[in-house]
Structure 1
Amino acid sequence: MMTSLFDGRLAPLTFSIGFLDAPPEEVAAVLVEFFTRVHDGGRATELGGSLEENLLELPPLTIGSQPKVLLASTALDGWTAMFEGDALGQGVAQLTGLLASQLLKVRGYFVSSVPPAGNSGGPLGARQFHMLGPETKLGYVRTVELIENNPGRWYFEAGGEVQPFEDVEAYGSRRRRDRFTEEMLAGYAAAVGLRPWDESFYRNPSYLVTNAATIRYPFTLGQARARLGLDG
Protein backbone atom coordinates (compact mmCIF):
# COMPACT_ATOMS: atom_id res chain seq x y z
CA MET A 1 0.00 0.00 0.00
CA MET A 2 1.40 3.38 -1.00
CA THR A 3 1.64 6.14 1.59
CA SER A 4 3.09 8.66 -0.83
CA LEU A 5 1.20 11.53 -2.45
CA PHE A 6 2.03 12.09 -6.15
CA ASP A 7 4.46 9.15 -5.97
CA GLY A 8 6.75 11.34 -3.88
CA ARG A 9 7.70 13.71 -6.69
CA LEU A 10 6.75 16.77 -4.64
CA ALA A 11 8.45 15.60 -1.45
CA PRO A 12 9.34 17.00 1.02
CA LEU A 13 6.19 19.14 0.60
CA THR A 14 4.10 15.98 0.94
CA PHE A 15 6.04 14.13 3.64
CA SER A 16 3.62 15.30 6.33
CA ILE A 17 0.02 16.54 6.27
CA GLY A 18 -2.20 18.04 8.95
CA PHE A 19 -5.99 17.69 9.12
CA LEU A 20 -8.48 19.79 11.09
CA ASP A 21 -12.20 19.43 11.74
CA ALA A 22 -13.00 22.91 10.45
CA PRO A 23 -13.65 24.33 6.96
CA PRO A 24 -10.69 25.95 5.20
CA GLU A 25 -12.12 29.47 5.28
CA GLU A 26 -12.38 29.25 9.08
CA VAL A 27 -8.86 27.85 9.41
CA ALA A 28 -7.58 30.59 7.09
CA ALA A 29 -9.20 33.34 9.16
CA VAL A 30 -7.72 31.99 12.39
CA LEU A 31 -4.28 31.62 10.80
CA VAL A 32 -4.35 35.18 9.44
CA GLU A 33 -5.21 36.48 12.91
CA PHE A 34 -2.47 34.35 14.48
CA PHE A 35 0.18 35.33 11.93
CA THR A 36 -0.76 38.99 12.22
CA ARG A 37 -0.17 38.75 15.94
CA VAL A 38 3.15 36.88 15.82
CA HIS A 39 4.60 37.99 12.47
CA ASP A 40 3.11 41.50 12.04
CA GLY A 41 1.14 40.46 9.00
CA GLY A 42 -1.03 37.72 7.55
CA ARG A 43 -3.04 37.25 4.36
CA ALA A 44 -5.18 34.52 2.80
CA THR A 45 -5.54 34.16 -0.97
CA GLU A 46 -8.03 31.73 -2.52
CA LEU A 47 -6.53 29.36 -5.08
CA GLY A 48 -8.38 27.55 -7.86
CA GLY A 49 -5.72 25.19 -9.19
CA SER A 50 -5.22 21.48 -8.70
CA LEU A 51 -3.62 20.27 -5.49
CA GLU A 52 -0.31 19.81 -7.30
CA GLU A 53 -0.46 23.33 -8.74
CA ASN A 54 -1.36 24.76 -5.35
CA LEU A 55 1.47 22.91 -3.59
CA LEU A 56 3.91 24.51 -6.01
CA GLU A 57 2.89 27.89 -4.57
CA LEU A 58 4.66 26.98 -1.31
CA PRO A 59 8.33 27.41 -2.36
CA PRO A 60 10.75 28.75 -1.44
CA LEU A 61 11.10 25.98 1.09
CA THR A 62 12.56 27.15 4.36
CA ILE A 63 14.20 26.07 7.59
CA GLY A 64 13.33 27.86 10.80
CA SER A 65 10.38 29.90 9.49
CA GLN A 66 6.86 29.33 8.22
CA PRO A 67 6.04 32.03 5.63
CA LYS A 68 3.39 30.07 3.68
CA VAL A 69 0.70 27.53 4.56
CA LEU A 70 -1.60 25.78 2.08
CA LEU A 71 -5.12 24.85 3.15
CA ALA A 72 -7.24 22.51 1.01
CA SER A 73 -10.80 21.27 1.28
CA THR A 74 -11.26 17.51 1.50
CA ALA A 75 -13.83 14.87 0.65
CA LEU A 76 -14.42 14.55 4.42
CA ASP A 77 -17.11 17.20 4.77
CA GLY A 78 -16.01 20.22 6.80
CA TRP A 79 -12.40 19.07 7.16
CA THR A 80 -9.29 20.94 6.03
CA ALA A 81 -5.91 19.55 4.96
CA MET A 82 -2.82 21.60 5.69
CA PHE A 83 0.62 21.63 4.05
CA GLU A 84 3.60 23.93 4.44
CA GLY A 85 7.02 24.45 2.94
CA ASP A 86 9.43 23.12 5.54
CA ALA A 87 12.57 21.98 3.71
CA LEU A 88 12.73 18.86 5.88
CA GLY A 89 9.04 18.03 5.52
CA GLN A 90 7.97 18.10 9.18
CA GLY A 91 6.98 21.72 9.87
CA VAL A 92 3.22 21.26 9.75
CA ALA A 93 3.18 19.01 12.82
CA GLN A 94 3.52 21.77 15.39
CA LEU A 95 1.08 24.10 13.64
CA THR A 96 -1.59 21.39 13.37
CA GLY A 97 -1.27 20.68 17.09
CA LEU A 98 -1.51 24.36 17.98
CA LEU A 99 -4.63 24.87 15.88
CA ALA A 100 -6.36 21.72 17.15
CA SER A 101 -5.57 22.22 20.83
CA GLN A 102 -5.66 26.00 21.31
CA LEU A 103 -6.62 28.21 18.37
CA LEU A 104 -9.59 26.24 16.99
CA LYS A 105 -10.07 23.63 19.73
CA VAL A 106 -11.19 20.90 17.35
CA ARG A 107 -10.21 17.33 16.49
CA GLY A 108 -7.11 17.17 14.36
CA TYR A 109 -4.74 14.60 12.89
CA PHE A 110 -1.15 14.66 11.73
CA VAL A 111 0.24 11.97 9.46
CA SER A 112 3.77 11.58 8.19
CA SER A 113 5.31 9.06 5.82
CA VAL A 114 9.00 9.39 4.98
CA PRO A 115 10.68 6.47 3.21
CA PRO A 116 13.70 4.80 4.83
CA ALA A 117 17.00 6.54 4.18
CA GLY A 118 18.70 3.43 2.77
CA ASN A 119 21.90 4.28 0.92
CA SER A 120 20.52 7.39 -0.76
CA GLY A 121 21.72 9.82 1.89
CA GLY A 122 18.14 11.07 2.15
CA PRO A 123 16.17 12.00 5.26
CA LEU A 124 15.70 9.42 7.97
CA GLY A 125 12.45 7.49 7.61
CA ALA A 126 9.31 8.03 9.65
CA ARG A 127 5.74 6.83 10.02
CA GLN A 128 3.60 8.93 12.34
CA PHE A 129 -0.05 9.11 13.28
CA HIS A 130 -1.14 11.75 15.79
CA MET A 131 -4.68 12.28 17.06
CA LEU A 132 -4.93 15.87 18.30
CA GLY A 133 -7.42 17.96 20.22
CA PRO A 134 -8.08 20.27 23.16
CA GLU A 135 -8.38 17.38 25.65
CA THR A 136 -4.71 17.61 26.64
CA LYS A 137 -2.46 20.60 27.30
CA LEU A 138 -0.13 19.90 24.38
CA GLY A 139 -2.88 18.61 22.12
CA TYR A 140 -1.69 15.01 21.85
CA VAL A 141 -4.59 12.63 22.39
CA ARG A 142 -2.92 9.59 20.81
CA THR A 143 0.44 9.19 19.05
CA VAL A 144 1.90 6.19 17.24
CA GLU A 145 5.35 6.66 15.75
CA LEU A 146 8.08 4.68 14.05
CA ILE A 147 11.20 6.82 13.63
CA GLU A 148 14.50 5.94 11.96
CA ASN A 149 17.25 7.11 14.34
CA ASN A 150 20.07 5.98 12.07
CA PRO A 151 19.87 4.35 8.62
CA GLY A 152 18.26 0.96 9.18
CA ARG A 153 17.73 1.47 12.92
CA TRP A 154 14.17 2.22 14.07
CA TYR A 155 12.52 3.43 17.27
CA PHE A 156 8.84 2.74 18.00
CA GLU A 157 6.71 4.61 20.52
CA ALA A 158 2.99 4.92 21.25
CA GLY A 159 1.37 7.18 23.81
CA GLY A 160 -2.07 8.33 24.92
CA GLU A 161 -5.42 6.55 24.75
CA VAL A 162 -5.47 3.46 22.51
CA GLN A 163 -8.07 3.78 19.74
CA PRO A 164 -10.43 0.93 18.73
CA PHE A 165 -9.01 0.68 15.20
CA GLU A 166 -5.41 0.03 16.28
CA ASP A 167 -3.56 -3.25 15.72
CA VAL A 168 -2.01 -3.32 19.17
CA GLU A 169 -0.69 -6.87 18.71
CA ALA A 170 1.66 -5.60 16.00
CA TYR A 171 3.31 -3.27 18.51
CA GLY A 172 4.97 -6.31 20.08
CA SER A 173 6.54 -7.54 16.85
CA ARG A 174 10.16 -8.58 17.21
CA ARG A 175 11.30 -6.51 14.24
CA ARG A 176 10.68 -2.85 14.99
CA ARG A 177 9.81 -1.95 11.41
CA ASP A 178 6.89 -4.38 11.64
CA ARG A 179 5.39 -2.63 14.66
CA PHE A 180 3.90 0.17 12.53
CA THR A 181 3.77 -0.62 8.83
CA GLU A 182 2.66 1.48 5.88
CA GLU A 183 -0.51 -0.59 5.74
CA MET A 184 -1.22 0.16 9.40
CA LEU A 185 -0.63 3.89 8.91
CA ALA A 186 -2.98 3.99 5.90
CA GLY A 187 -5.52 1.89 7.80
CA TYR A 188 -5.50 4.19 10.83
CA ALA A 189 -6.03 7.20 8.58
CA ALA A 190 -8.87 5.46 6.75
CA ALA A 191 -10.51 4.51 10.06
CA VAL A 192 -11.01 8.21 10.84
CA GLY A 193 -12.16 9.08 7.32
CA LEU A 194 -8.87 10.28 5.83
CA ARG A 195 -7.18 9.32 2.56
CA PRO A 196 -4.03 11.44 2.81
CA TRP A 197 -2.20 9.85 -0.13
CA ASP A 198 -5.11 9.84 -2.57
CA GLU A 199 -5.05 12.91 -4.82
CA SER A 200 -8.81 12.68 -5.37
CA PHE A 201 -9.39 13.23 -1.63
CA TYR A 202 -8.50 16.92 -1.97
CA ARG A 203 -10.87 19.61 -3.22
CA ASN A 204 -11.24 23.35 -3.63
CA PRO A 205 -11.67 25.94 -2.29
CA SER A 206 -8.06 26.13 -1.22
CA TYR A 207 -6.23 29.00 0.43
CA LEU A 208 -2.61 30.11 0.54
CA VAL A 209 -1.97 31.85 3.84
CA THR A 210 1.15 34.01 3.89
CA ASN A 211 2.80 36.08 6.56
CA ALA A 212 5.71 38.42 7.14
CA ALA A 213 8.03 35.88 8.76
CA THR A 214 11.69 36.32 7.86
CA ILE A 215 12.65 33.73 5.28
CA ARG A 216 15.82 32.00 6.42
CA TYR A 217 17.72 29.48 4.33
CA PRO A 218 15.44 29.53 1.24
CA PHE A 219 15.49 26.59 -1.16
CA THR A 220 13.76 25.87 -4.43
CA LEU A 221 11.93 22.55 -4.46
CA GLY A 222 14.71 21.13 -6.63
CA GLN A 223 17.40 22.34 -4.24
CA ALA A 224 15.57 20.88 -1.24
CA ARG A 225 15.15 17.54 -2.99
CA ALA A 226 18.81 17.45 -4.00
CA ARG A 227 19.85 18.33 -0.45
CA LEU A 228 17.81 15.39 0.84
CA GLY A 229 19.02 13.01 -1.86
CA LEU A 230 15.50 12.51 -3.22
CA ASP A 231 16.49 12.65 -6.88
CA GLY A 232 19.40 10.26 -6.61
Structure 2
Amino acid sequence: MLINASLERIEAWQTERERTRPERERDRPERARSRPTTLTALTGGLRELLPRLEPLTGPITMRRLWVQTRNPEWSMYFAGSTRGTEYHAQGALHGYCHHLQVHGLQISSSPHTLRRDGTGRPGNMVFEIHDPAGDGTRVIAAQVGDGDRWVFTNIGRVRPFERTEAYGARRIRDRLSGEMIADYCAALGLFPFEEDFYGPRGLLLEQAPESYLPHCDPRGLVQK
Protein backbone atom coordinates (compact mmCIF):
# COMPACT_ATOMS: atom_id res chain seq x y z
CA MET A 1 0.00 0.00 0.00
CA LEU A 2 1.33 3.43 -0.97
CA ILE A 3 -0.02 6.89 -0.26
CA ASN A 4 0.82 10.19 -1.94
CA ALA A 5 2.44 11.73 1.15
CA SER A 6 6.06 12.20 2.18
CA LEU A 7 7.43 10.35 5.19
CA GLU A 8 7.85 13.72 6.94
CA ARG A 9 4.17 14.49 6.52
CA ILE A 10 3.11 11.09 7.82
CA GLU A 11 5.43 11.42 10.82
CA ALA A 12 4.08 14.89 11.65
CA TRP A 13 0.50 13.66 11.45
CA GLN A 14 1.18 10.55 13.56
CA THR A 15 3.03 12.62 16.16
CA GLU A 16 0.16 15.08 16.48
CA ARG A 17 -2.39 12.27 16.58
CA GLU A 18 -0.52 10.58 19.42
CA ARG A 19 -0.15 13.88 21.30
CA THR A 20 -3.90 14.56 21.16
CA ARG A 21 -5.00 10.95 21.70
CA PRO A 22 -5.76 11.20 25.46
CA GLU A 23 -7.95 14.27 24.97
CA ARG A 24 -9.76 12.88 21.91
CA GLU A 25 -10.54 9.60 23.64
CA ARG A 26 -11.21 10.92 27.12
CA ASP A 27 -14.92 10.05 27.06
CA ARG A 28 -14.54 6.62 25.47
CA PRO A 29 -14.79 3.42 27.54
CA GLU A 30 -11.35 2.01 28.27
CA ARG A 31 -11.86 -0.97 25.99
CA ALA A 32 -12.66 1.36 23.07
CA ARG A 33 -9.54 3.49 23.42
CA SER A 34 -6.60 3.11 21.06
CA ARG A 35 -3.27 2.07 22.53
CA PRO A 36 -0.19 4.30 22.99
CA THR A 37 2.08 4.23 19.95
CA THR A 38 5.83 4.81 19.91
CA LEU A 39 7.33 6.35 16.77
CA THR A 40 10.92 5.45 15.85
CA ALA A 41 12.81 6.98 12.93
CA LEU A 42 14.88 4.40 11.03
CA THR A 43 17.43 4.38 8.23
CA GLY A 44 18.35 1.70 5.73
CA GLY A 45 17.10 -0.18 2.73
CA LEU A 46 14.19 -2.60 2.61
CA ARG A 47 16.31 -5.52 3.85
CA GLU A 48 17.33 -3.57 6.93
CA LEU A 49 13.91 -2.06 7.64
CA LEU A 50 11.49 -4.98 7.21
CA PRO A 51 12.99 -7.09 10.04
CA ARG A 52 11.96 -4.31 12.44
CA LEU A 53 8.39 -5.61 12.06
CA GLU A 54 9.35 -8.89 13.76
CA PRO A 55 8.09 -10.79 15.57
CA LEU A 56 4.89 -10.73 13.54
CA THR A 57 1.71 -10.70 15.62
CA GLY A 58 -1.93 -11.58 15.21
CA PRO A 59 -4.81 -11.00 15.36
CA ILE A 60 -3.68 -7.60 16.68
CA THR A 61 -0.93 -5.84 14.72
CA MET A 62 1.54 -4.27 17.14
CA ARG A 63 4.05 -2.97 14.58
CA ARG A 64 3.57 -1.00 11.39
CA LEU A 65 6.21 0.46 9.14
CA TRP A 66 6.26 3.37 6.71
CA VAL A 67 9.14 3.44 4.23
CA GLN A 68 10.27 6.37 2.11
CA THR A 69 10.46 5.66 -1.62
CA ARG A 70 12.57 6.88 -4.52
CA ASN A 71 9.64 9.17 -5.30
CA PRO A 72 9.77 11.19 -2.04
CA GLU A 73 6.13 12.24 -2.31
CA TRP A 74 5.03 8.61 -1.96
CA SER A 75 5.47 6.33 1.06
CA MET A 76 4.95 2.57 1.40
CA TYR A 77 3.12 0.88 4.29
CA PHE A 78 3.86 -2.55 5.76
CA ALA A 79 2.00 -4.29 8.59
CA GLY A 80 3.75 -6.65 10.99
CA SER A 81 0.85 -9.08 10.88
CA THR A 82 0.82 -12.86 10.66
CA ARG A 83 -1.84 -12.40 7.98
CA GLY A 84 0.33 -10.11 5.90
CA THR A 85 -0.03 -6.47 4.89
CA GLU A 86 -2.77 -7.27 2.35
CA TYR A 87 -5.19 -8.18 5.13
CA HIS A 88 -4.90 -4.70 6.67
CA ALA A 89 -4.30 -2.63 3.54
CA GLN A 90 -7.90 -1.65 2.76
CA GLY A 91 -8.64 -0.13 6.15
CA ALA A 92 -5.23 1.54 6.41
CA LEU A 93 -5.48 2.93 2.88
CA HIS A 94 -8.87 4.52 3.41
CA GLY A 95 -7.96 5.82 6.87
CA TYR A 96 -4.70 7.53 5.95
CA CYS A 97 -6.04 8.91 2.66
CA HIS A 98 -9.06 10.34 4.46
CA HIS A 99 -7.10 11.99 7.28
CA LEU A 100 -4.31 13.35 5.06
CA GLN A 101 -6.60 14.04 2.06
CA VAL A 102 -4.27 12.37 -0.42
CA HIS A 103 -4.55 9.68 -3.06
CA GLY A 104 -3.42 6.16 -2.31
CA LEU A 105 -2.60 2.98 -4.15
CA GLN A 106 -3.33 -0.57 -3.05
CA ILE A 107 -1.64 -3.35 -4.99
CA SER A 108 -1.45 -7.10 -4.61
CA SER A 109 0.31 -9.54 -6.87
CA SER A 110 -0.25 -12.94 -5.27
CA PRO A 111 -0.62 -15.81 -7.77
CA HIS A 112 -2.98 -18.66 -6.98
CA THR A 113 -1.00 -21.36 -5.15
CA LEU A 114 -3.77 -22.80 -2.96
CA ARG A 115 -3.79 -26.63 -2.95
CA ARG A 116 -6.41 -29.16 -1.97
CA ASP A 117 -4.60 -29.85 1.31
CA GLY A 118 -5.07 -26.21 2.31
CA THR A 119 -1.47 -25.10 1.80
CA GLY A 120 -0.61 -22.12 -0.37
CA ARG A 121 -2.56 -18.90 -0.90
CA PRO A 122 -5.62 -17.96 -2.96
CA GLY A 123 -4.99 -15.77 -5.99
CA ASN A 124 -5.23 -12.06 -5.27
CA MET A 125 -4.34 -9.58 -8.02
CA VAL A 126 -5.37 -6.01 -7.21
CA PHE A 127 -4.71 -2.53 -8.55
CA GLU A 128 -6.67 0.18 -6.74
CA ILE A 129 -6.27 3.94 -6.94
CA HIS A 130 -8.05 5.43 -3.94
CA ASP A 131 -9.35 8.99 -4.11
CA PRO A 132 -10.62 10.29 -0.73
CA ALA A 133 -13.20 12.37 -2.61
CA GLY A 134 -14.43 9.23 -4.35
CA ASP A 135 -14.58 10.57 -7.89
CA GLY A 136 -11.18 9.27 -8.98
CA THR A 137 -11.24 5.87 -7.34
CA ARG A 138 -10.35 3.02 -9.70
CA VAL A 139 -10.44 -0.68 -8.78
CA ILE A 140 -9.34 -3.58 -10.96
CA ALA A 141 -9.05 -7.00 -9.33
CA ALA A 142 -8.94 -10.69 -10.18
CA GLN A 143 -9.35 -12.67 -6.97
CA VAL A 144 -10.35 -16.07 -5.67
CA GLY A 145 -13.52 -15.62 -3.65
CA ASP A 146 -15.93 -17.93 -1.86
CA GLY A 147 -16.08 -21.45 -3.19
CA ASP A 148 -12.67 -21.08 -4.86
CA ARG A 149 -14.29 -19.17 -7.70
CA TRP A 150 -12.42 -16.37 -9.47
CA VAL A 151 -14.11 -12.97 -9.34
CA PHE A 152 -13.28 -9.96 -11.52
CA THR A 153 -13.87 -6.38 -10.32
CA ASN A 154 -13.77 -3.41 -12.68
CA ILE A 155 -14.95 -0.15 -11.09
CA GLY A 156 -14.25 3.49 -11.86
CA ARG A 157 -12.75 5.56 -14.65
CA VAL A 158 -10.34 3.73 -16.92
CA ARG A 159 -6.84 5.24 -17.00
CA PRO A 160 -5.03 5.77 -20.35
CA PHE A 161 -2.24 3.32 -19.47
CA GLU A 162 -4.53 0.33 -18.89
CA ARG A 163 -4.53 -2.75 -21.12
CA THR A 164 -8.29 -2.94 -21.32
CA GLU A 165 -8.24 -5.68 -23.96
CA ALA A 166 -7.04 -8.10 -21.26
CA TYR A 167 -10.21 -7.56 -19.22
CA GLY A 168 -12.18 -9.63 -21.71
CA ALA A 169 -10.02 -12.76 -21.36
CA ARG A 170 -12.03 -15.95 -20.99
CA ARG A 171 -10.25 -16.99 -17.81
CA ILE A 172 -10.68 -14.41 -15.05
CA ARG A 173 -7.20 -15.12 -13.70
CA ASP A 174 -5.76 -13.90 -17.02
CA ARG A 175 -7.47 -10.50 -16.87
CA LEU A 176 -4.97 -8.89 -14.50
CA SER A 177 -1.39 -10.14 -14.26
CA GLY A 178 1.56 -9.19 -12.09
CA GLU A 179 3.26 -7.71 -15.14
CA MET A 180 0.23 -5.51 -15.81
CA ILE A 181 0.17 -4.29 -12.22
CA ALA A 182 3.89 -3.42 -12.37
CA ASP A 183 3.38 -1.55 -15.65
CA TYR A 184 0.38 0.36 -14.25
CA CYS A 185 2.47 1.42 -11.24
CA ALA A 186 5.34 2.47 -13.51
CA ALA A 187 2.94 4.69 -15.46
CA LEU A 188 2.38 6.54 -12.17
CA GLY A 189 6.12 6.83 -11.53
CA LEU A 190 6.08 4.07 -8.92
CA PHE A 191 8.19 0.89 -8.88
CA PRO A 192 7.10 -1.12 -5.82
CA PHE A 193 8.51 -4.41 -7.12
CA GLU A 194 12.07 -3.04 -7.29
CA GLU A 195 14.09 -3.27 -4.08
CA ASP A 196 16.03 -0.05 -4.71
CA PHE A 197 12.73 1.87 -4.87
CA TYR A 198 12.69 1.88 -1.06
CA GLY A 199 14.60 3.85 1.57
CA PRO A 200 16.77 5.25 2.92
CA ARG A 201 14.37 6.28 5.69
CA GLY A 202 11.60 4.54 7.57
CA LEU A 203 9.18 5.18 10.42
CA LEU A 204 8.25 2.37 12.82
CA LEU A 205 4.95 2.62 14.71
CA GLU A 206 4.96 0.26 17.66
CA GLN A 207 2.53 -0.59 20.42
CA ALA A 208 3.98 -2.38 23.45
CA PRO A 209 2.43 -5.81 24.25
CA GLU A 210 1.58 -4.71 27.78
CA SER A 211 -0.63 -1.95 26.36
CA TYR A 212 -3.18 -4.66 25.51
CA LEU A 213 -3.53 -5.93 29.04
CA PRO A 214 -5.88 -6.78 30.68
CA HIS A 215 -7.90 -7.27 27.49
CA CYS A 216 -5.71 -10.06 26.10
CA ASP A 217 -2.56 -12.03 26.85
CA PRO A 218 0.28 -10.63 24.70
CA ARG A 219 1.93 -14.07 24.62
CA GLY A 220 -0.89 -15.20 22.36
CA LEU A 221 -0.17 -12.43 19.85
CA VAL A 222 3.36 -13.38 18.90
CA GLN A 223 4.11 -15.62 15.96
CA LYS A 224 5.87 -18.83 17.06
Equivalent residue for 2:89, pick from 88, 92, 95? 92
The one-letter code of the counterpart of 1:109 is L
Number of residue pairs aligned between Structure 1 and Structure 2: 201
Q: TM-score with structure 1 length normalisation?
A: 0.77
Q: Say which structure is richer in helix.
A: 2
Secondary structure at the counterpart of residue 56 of structure 1? helix
Secondary structure at the counterpart of residue 165 of structure 2? helix
Q: Is the 8 A contact 1:71 1:82 kept in 2?
A: yes
Please state how far the C-alpha of 1:88 moved relative to its aligned partner: 1.7
1:6 paired residue number: none
Gaps of 5+ in 1: 1-17, 224-232
Q: Is the 8 A contact 1:112 1:129 kept in 2?
A: yes
Secondary structure at the counterpart of residue 102 of structure 2? coil
Secondary structure at the counterpart of residue 187 of structure 1? helix
Please state how far the C-alpha of 1:188 moved relative to its aligned partner: 1.0
Secondary structure at the counterpart of residue 116 of structure 1? coil
Secondary structure at the counterpart of residue 66 of structure 1? coil
CA distance in 2, matches of 1:68, 1:29: 18
Matches within 5 A, 1:112-151: 112-119=108-115, 121-136=119-134, 141-149=137-145
> What are the Cα deviations for residues 193-223 of structure 1, in whole angstroms up to 9, with x where unaligned?
1111100001222111123563585343xx5
Structure 2 residue 65 is matched with structure 1 residue 70: yes
Percent identical residues: 32
CA distance in 2, matches of 1:127, 1:32: 34
1:15 paired residue number: none
CA distance in 1, matches of 2:104, 2:71: 13
Q: Is the 8 A contact 1:32 1:42 kept in 2?
A: no
CA distance in 1, matches of 2:17, 2:58: 20
User: In 2 relative to 1, CA 110–34 (structure 1 residues): closer, same or farther, beyond 3 Å?
Assistant: farther
Q: Is the 8 A contact 1:32 1:43 kept in 2?
A: no
Please state how far the C-alpha of 1:48 moved relative to its aligned partner: 1.7
Equivalent residue for 2:5, pick from 12, 22, 28? 22
Equivalent residue for 1:31, pick from 14, 23, 28? 14
The one-letter code of the counterpart of 1:50 is G
Gaps of 5+ in 2: 22-32, 213-217
2:26 paired residue number: none
Matches within 5 A, 1:214-225: 214=212, 217-220=220-223, 223=224
Q: Is the 8 A contact 2:44 2:201 kept in 1?
A: no
CA distance in 2, matches of 1:185, 1:24: 24
Secondary structure at the counterpart of residue 57 of structure 1? helix
1:161 paired residue number: 157
> What are the Cα deviations for residues 167-206 of structure 1, in whole angstroms up to 9, with x where unaligned?
1121111111111111111111111111111000012221
**Of 58-67 and 196-205, the range deviating more from structure 2:** 58-67
Q: Say what the alpha-carbon RMSD is for the aligned residues.
A: 2.4
User: In 2 relative to 1, CA 63–160 (structure 1 residues): closer, same or farther, beyond 3 Å?
Assistant: farther
User: In 2 relative to 1, CA 150–122 (structure 1 residues): closer, same or farther, beyond 3 Å?
Assistant: farther
Q: TM-score with structure 2 length normalisation?
A: 0.80
Q: Is the 8 A contact 2:107 2:128 kept in 1?
A: yes
User: In 2 relative to 1, CA 186–129 (structure 1 residues): closer, same or farther, beyond 3 Å?
Assistant: same
Structure 2 residue 102 is matched with structure 1 residue 106: yes
The one-letter code of the counterpart of 1:125 is G
Structure 2 residue 51 is matched with structure 1 residue 48: no
Please state how far the C-alpha of 1:31 moved relative to its aligned partner: 3.0
